[in-house]
Every structure is written in C-alpha cells, then in structure tokens.
Amino acid sequence: MLKQFLSAAVVVAAMSALTACDSDNKHDYEPNPDQPKYSAGAYFLNQGNYYSGGIEGGLYSLDYTTGTMANNIFKAANGKSLGDTPQCGVCYGSKVYIGVYESQCIFILDKYTNKEISCLRLKGMKQGSQPRSMVAYGGKVYVAMYDGYVARLDTTTMQIDKSVQVGPNPEVIGIYNNKIYVPNSDGMNYPTYGTTASVIDIDSFTVTAELNNVPLNPAEFQANKDGLYLLAKGNYQDIPSKIYKVEGLEFKEIAEASIMAVDEDKVYYVNAPFTDDVKVTYGYYDIANDMNQEWRIQQVDYPNNIAIDRIGGKMFISSYIMDGKYPSYTAPGYVNEYTLDGKFVKKYDIGVGPAAIFFDKY
C-alpha cells in the first residue's frame, strides 16, 4: 500500500526533470515535499492481526545511511501501541501520518523523534472514520475512508478540513493529472463487488466524475508521469485479479496480477492467484514497448507488497512467511531490499502482517 504516495512522488520527480541527479549542496536546498530530491529512508507498516489473536500492528523504519532497521519505532518512542490494523501511512514534510483502520484514528508523528504530535480520533465522525489509504500533495494529506469518503487533512492545522463522499468501500487512491482516483471496491457488498471509481479534482476538492465501467472490484490506482494504472481484484473465484491501463474511459488489460508497483518506464507486478496450489509469478510490463516480461529477481515466499524508491535507488518486496503450503498471517513477515536493477541486497525481519511501505523523501 501507499505506493500512491510513491506514484505522486514519481510524477513530481519526473516533472522536476531529473534535477535530483545532479547532487547539489544539500545545505542550500529548501525541501519541497512535492518535488523531493533526496530520500533518507523507508517505513514499513505492519497491520498485525487483530482478527486472529489480537496481534497489534507496528511501524518499522530503515535508515539508508546506516542500513539498519529500527523495530516498532512508534512503541519505542511513545510507550504505547500503534493500535489495531495500522493500514496506511505517508511521510510528508517533517511528519509521519499513520491511518489505523480498526482503531479508527490517524496518528501524526514527528519524523525526527517518532513522538506522537497528535491523534485524530475518527470514530463516529460523519465524514469518514476508517482510514484505508493515503496520499499527500500540496500541503494536504488525502485519506480514503472505508465508510465511503475521502477526507482532506491539512498538514498545518493537523485537522480534517473537508471531506467528500465517494462510492462504497474505497481502497487505495492515486493522484494523476491533479486528480485523485478512488477505486470503489464495494467490498462489503460481497459477493457483489463494485465497478465504479470516483474522480476528485484536487483544486476544488469535489467529485468531478464517476467512472461506471471499471473492472470488477477495483482496488488500487497508481500513476507515473504519463499513465494511470488500476489493479482490480476480481471476485476471488472465476474472475482473476488483473492490472489495467486507464485510457480515457477504457481499461486496457495488462496482466494478471495481485500486487503492482508503477515505475517510470515499467509496471512491476507479482501474481499470487487465489487458488489451492499457489504458483506465484513475477513480471513487469515494459510501457514503451507494450509488452510483458519475466521479472528475474530473488523471489520471496509469498509477496505482499512491492515498493520502488527511485530517488533512494532501492526496491523492496515484503513477504509473509510460509506455514506449510499457505502463507501465515499470524507470524512475523520480512522485507527484501534490492537495487533498482533488481539485485538482492538484504533481508530484514519485520512484524506480523507487512502492509504499507513509504519513503522519507524531502
């Protein structure tokens, strides 16, 4: 999750015309979170497993300079739990924002000390209370709420200043062309899943369009500078999970996949189909040549997420560990670090239920 921040960042990074490459003096640099030049580290959020045994979640951080992973940094700094099912997060400006789904709150942390600055309790709020995904842009953090809203959190006042209603059960939102794309999964209407997406104009913060012919069970929008991609999960039975390229009102099928990461020139993906004998395949879509390729990379046991930090020059794939022939959702997982060309660097142990990965870019 939280690749939506990545996608926003990628767009912006690309628009800034590769200035990040000439490494000018950091001291003269005025950080602009929407046009980052540097990346200091990565965050790994674990959901825990509240449903099975009440396992709490946690936040881990990797410092690129020292190459060390700090465990449970929220608990270490604040002496208390991050809550039940931390679902999404972003690092933006000098703060880290964490949306906690079951606890129905958003923690705002100082990114240098990891100390809690504020905790927004959302329970009972009419305009959305169940954080599902986040993106940050233009001094605001946009939070998709599973009860059918996208809320706008002002990073200065640290309050939600506006909220708009979208379709049912929005999942991972993405920014493309100054618009927020919201996949309305309608997951709670199971076994009938949704086929709509809402489009929010960032400047007016209103829903300006509703797409009605979206592939079944839309789950995640991600974009790069010249394209918007959708992962739609199907029905977990006969309709498989696939990646689509959004072309106007059409959705062009790219590949069968269950997770994806949109990079500048490629869409990396892994397909772990929902069938009895799990055969996980790794691939990428070469955007310029419009073709799928096998992705030769040291594989993980059962991938959960892919994230690419182009500025920091790193890729990550997080994974569950196996429990017999099935992945375990109650045992601690891990994350593999790779270079941008796919060379394995290191494996780090992280907590139960690896979920969102996001970066400390500035």
Partner 1 sequence: MVSGSITAGQKPDSASVTLQTLEVTSAKAPKEVVSVAPTHTIANQDLDKMGITGISDAIHRMPGVILRDYGGAGGLKTVSIRGLGPQHTGVSYDGAQLGDTQSGQIDLSRYSLDNVSDISMVIGDNEDIFVPARTAAASSSIMISSWNPVMGDSKLNLTAKLTAGAFGYVCPYIRVGSGIGDNMAWLVTGDYIHSNNNYTFSIPNGSETVKERRSNSDIDNGHIEANFRWKPNSASTLNVKYYYFDSFRHLPGPAILYNNESHEALKDVNMFGQAQYRTRLSKIFSLNVLGKFNWSKNRYTDRDGKYPGGVLDNRYIQREAYGAATLLCAPVTGLSLSYAFDYFYNDLHSNLKQHNRPHRNSILQGLNAKYHYHWFTATARALLSIYRDFPGDGEKKISHTRLTPSAGVSFQPWMNQNFFIRLNYKGIFRMPTFNELYFDHFGSINLNPEITDQFNAGLTYNLKPQSRISNLNVTVDGYYNRIKNKIVAVPYNMFVWTMTNLGRVEAYGIDLALNAEFPIYARQSIIFNGNYSWQKALSRTSRDKLDWNKQLPYTPVHSGAFSVAWENPWVSIVAHSYGCSARYSSTNNLPSTRLHGYMEFGFAAYHTFRFNGHELQLRADLINAFDARYEIVARYPMPGRSWTASIRFTL
Yes or no: say if 138 and 120 are a contact pair by the CB < 8 Å rule: no
| Contact with partner 1 (CB under 8 A) among 330, 342, 344, 345 | 330
Give residues with Cβ within 8 angstroms of 113, minimum separation 6. Answer: 77
Q: Is 150 in the site for partner 1 (CB under 8 A)?
A: no
Q: Is 326 in the site for partner 1 (CB under 8 A)?
A: yes
Q: Say how far apart CA 124 and CA 284 lie, in whole Å.
A: 42
Closest CB 160 distance from partner 1, rounded Å: 15
DSSP character for 119? E
Q: Is 114 in the site for partner 1 (CB under 8 A)?
A: no
| Contact with partner 1 (CB under 8 A) among 133, 169, 184, 198 | 169
74 vs 251, beta carbon nearer partner 1: 74
Q: Is 226 in the site for partner 1 (CB under 8 A)?
A: no
Give residues with Cβ within 8 angstroms of 359, minimum separation 6. Answer: 5, 6, 9, 39, 41, 42, 43, 91, 307, 309, 311, 312
| Contact with partner 1 (CB under 8 A) among 17, 21, 28, 54 | 54
Q: Say how far apart CA 239 and CA 45 lie, in whole Å.
A: 30
Q: Is 218 in the site for partner 1 (CB under 8 A)?
A: no
Q: What's the first-to-final CA gap in the chain, in angstroms?
A: 20
Annotate 76-118 with DSSP letters as a single string. HHHSS---S-EEEEEEETTEEEEEETTTTEEEEEETTT--EEE
Structure tokens given for 37: 């030049």
Helices (H) then strands (E): counts for the chain: 2, 30
- Number of residues interacting with partner 1: please give it, by CB under 8 A: 55
Instruction: Name residues contacting partner 1, limited to 291-310 (CB under 8 A).
Output: none
| Contact with partner 1 (CB under 8 A) among 225, 328, 342, 344 | 328
Instruction: Name residues contacting partner 1, limited to 60-99 (CB under 8 A).
Output: 75, 78-81, 83-84
Report the DSSP pairing between strands 322-323 and 326-327.
antiparallel
| Contact with partner 1 (CB under 8 A) among 1, 37, 142, 147 | 147
| Contact with partner 1 (CB under 8 A) among 123, 204, 277, 294 | 123
73 vs 228, beta carbon nearer partner 1: 73
Closest CB 114 distance from partner 1, rounded Å: 13
To 5 degrees, how large is the angle CA 44–CA 246–CA 213?
110
- Stretch of residues binding partner 1 (CB under 8 A), selected from 60-68, 91-99, 141-149, 218-226: 141-149
Site string for partner 1, 9-48 (x = CB under 8 A): ----------------------------------------
Give residues with Cβ within 8 angstroms of 204, minimum separation 6. Answer: none
Report the DSSP pairing between strands 174-176 and 250-256.
unpaired
197 vs 219, beta carbon nearer partner 1: 219
- Stretch of residues binding partner 1 (CB under 8 A), selected from 126-134, 205-213, 247-255, 285-293: 126-134
Structure tokens given for 114: 């990891």
93 vs 148, beta carbon nearer partner 1: 148
Whose structure tokens read 């993106």? 135
276: how many CB neighbours lie within 10 A of its CB?
Answer: 7
Give residues in contact with partner 1 (CB under 8 A).
49-50, 52-56, 75, 78-81, 83-84, 100, 102-105, 119, 121, 123-124, 128-130, 146-148, 168-169, 186, 188-192, 236-237, 258, 274-275, 321-324, 326-332, 352-353
